[in-house]
Amino acid sequence: MGFGSFNDDGPHKPMADINVTPMVDVMLVLLVIFIITAPLFTHAVKLDLPQAQSAPAPEKPETIALSIDGQGRIFWNNDEMAFAELQQRIVTASQQRPLPALHLRADKETRYDVIAKVMAAAQQGGLTKIAFVTESDKNPGASGK
């Protein structure tokens, strides 16, 4: 930063011009670095890769939505059915490969003995992947009443 001029006559005044030479020097150095390194980014190693066959990706298992309302009625993918028909469908579903997953949705007013009977029927029928579906509490500080 210059604080004076070349003539010594008169009071010394600061220079009002900005010295851009160091900035231009840095920019030119960066430009040269980028020019030299840019071809390295586009250079790729050429390989002759072998061909191989792999097994197809496994299928996702079917998901069965089993719902039980507050009165104990059972719904298989939104179709209402009796408990005897449920047992029959569970046995049929357990024959599928891959084994389907059972998503059990039960109303909070449902009696536990109904849920226990459904779970026992699923296990005896061969469906071992059982998941309970719940809803998250939107306001954890508030009571549910």
Identify whether 11 is preceded by a cis peptide bond (ω within 30 of 0): no
pLDDT digits (tens, 9 = 90+) for 4-49: 556 656 667 777 778 888 899 999 999 999 998 887 777 677 777 7
pLDDT digits (tens, 9 = 90+) for 115-125: 999 999 999 88
Q: Report the alpha-carbon distance of residue 75 to residue 35 in Å, rounded.
A: 68
Whether 63 and 100 have beta carbons less than 8 Å apart is answered as yes
Reply yes or no on domain 63-132 having CATH 3.30.1330.40.
no
Average pLDDT of the chain is 82
How far apart are the two ends of the chain, measured CA to CA in Å? 74
Q: Report the alpha-carbon distance of residue 105 to residue 107 in Å, rounded.
A: 7
> With a threshold of 0.85, does the pTM exceed it?
no
Name the pLDDT band for 136 (thresholds 50, 70, 90). confident
What is the pLDDT, as a whole number, of residue 145?
46
Q: Report the alpha-carbon distance of residue 15 to residue 40 in Å, rounded.
A: 44
Report residue 119 as tokens.
Answer: 């779970």
Q: Residue ranges per domain, the chain? A: 63-132
